[in-house]
Amino acid sequence: MERKQVLVPEADLARQRDFEEKIRAMFAAREAHPVACVDTFGCQQNVADGQKLMGMLGECGFTFTDDPKEADLVILNTCAVREHAEQRVFGNLGLLTHTKKENPEQVIALCGCMAQEERVSKRVRESYRHVDLVFGPHALWKFPELLWQVYETRRRVFAVDDEHGTIAEGIPVVREKGVKAWVSIMYGCNNFCSYCIVPYVRGRERSRDPQCVLREVRELVESGYKDITLLGQNVNSYGNDLGLGYDFSDLLADIDKIPGEYLIRFMSSHPKDATKKLFDTMARCAHVAKQLHLPFQSGNDRVLREMNRRYTREQYLDLVRYAKSVMPGLVLTSDVIIGFPGETEAEAMDTVSLVDEVGFDALFTFIYSPRPGTKAASMPDPATRAEKQKWFDKLLEVQNAKSAALHAAYIGKTVRVLVDGESDDADFPLSSRTEGNRLVRLKGDKSLIGQFVDVTVTGSNTWALYGQPVQ
């Protein structure tokens, strides 16, 4: 795609600001104070999208609640990656018939990746008549106009056209209070892994201009955010569409020059595009966390080919070896799918053996979930759910033992953490994260929230460390 086809013109964005003002004026004329509930499912990219929705709603005059019963507008911002998340969304949509019955003027909207799927929008159109607005990720930037159409016409609005996708700069954002922030550096995906629906619902890869990203990160640092995560479906291919000879490693190096006390993280990172240059840059940059989330999905080459991952087991292991060699103490995490269609027990055990060999600090593990519209959904899948569960349990057994041992090795050591909030543990009331994003529950006063502190680790389990600030 040419860049002129990707960037939303300023005139079109100004038009959305006009619709925001129209909505604000409409409620002011009614002497009403509208309240919105934005419920986000799924990945950090969805969280970032939800914060943009809240930013636009704020400009429309809305305040916010977590209770749909209190809301004049309810938005379900959805994820299409797994079947379980989809069923939760449909369950929540069904429950909203009750809030709509109590408040017939309530507007209900469905957006995000699920909404972009044709089968989903068709089901909502036919079976969830109480839903007023459905729009996909491509239409997020014109949300004020779509919402105005609902208010003005009193008709249902669907904006789910199939398109490559755009970039809209300057959309207002309502961020969570605290120390963490998300920055989308690119959108879409070109990889078409055979199990994944994302390229079909988020369009082709398109990178934001580096200066726009740098400006946003600089503003966040100046505003006091200390843990900033750069987002993309595959951040390693950032810049391929810009024609500038400027890649993700260059972006990290330029961000690192921004003065301040903060950490930069990123996800997700595709192994086929990970390079020694990236790892060398990470090692060199003081603000870039020595933490890498590098999904491998399977440890078997045949399964990797069927997944269309475009690397081999040995190529993945070579990447890990090099990354660890230039960043001793690197915290490494990954995503794994067990039970891919056609996978045998021996092939699943290849995945388990890779986990045992690498020694990941933590894994995000899934039993394969078929997504309609993907190539894998039509593949023969003879293994039973019970067999897959057995393989999955073995994977967890190996990984949990690794995680517990890695965490136990921290006991007695002093680590630097960023205190990011309160925990639900009365004995360790604070929550914090190491540079490697390990959870550390702390003793201490709430006044420490937002600060980097040195902590002595006094205990651990499979999922967390426990400690107290160094006196």
User: For residue 167, is it within any domain?
Assistant: no
d(CA 286, CA 262): 9
Domain of residue 220, residue span: 175-289
- Give per-residue pLDDT as tens, 90-119: 999 999 999 999 999 999 999 999 999 999
Average pLDDT score, the chain: 95
Give residue 352's pLDDT.
Answer: 98
In a domain, 344, yes or no: yes
- Whether residue 168 is contained in a domain is answered as no
What is the CATH classification number for the domain harbouring 113? 3.40.50.280
CA distance 263 to 291: 11
Instruction: Tell me the two tokens of residue 216.
Output: 């946003």
pLDDT (average), residues 216-239: 97
Average pLDDT over residues 142-147: 98
- The pLDDT assigned to 163 comes to 81
- Is pLDDT of 340 > 60? yes
Can you tell me the distance from the alpha carbon of 234 to that of 237, in angstroms, rounded to the nearest whole number? 6
Contact predicate 140/161, CB 8 Å: no
- pTM of structure: 0.94
What's the pLDDT score for residue 450? 94
Any idea what the CATH number is for the domain that residue 250 is in?
Answer: 3.30.750.210
Closest alpha carbon to 42 in 262, 202, 265: 202
Whole-angstrom Cα distance, residue 142 to residue 47? 18
Instruction: Write down the pLDDT at residue 2.
Output: 53
Least confident of 135-144, 161-170, 398-407: 161-170
Helices (H), 261-343: 276-284, 301-307, 313-326
CATH number of domain containing 330: 3.30.750.200
* Mean pLDDT (whole number) for 236-240: 96
Give the pLDDT confidence of 158-201 residue by residue, as tens digits.
999 988 889 999 999 999 888 999 999 999 999 999 999 999 99
Shared domain check, 25 and 150:
yes
pLDDT at 4: 58
Q: How many domains is the chain partitioned into structurally?
A: 4
Please report whether residue 107 resides in a domain.
yes
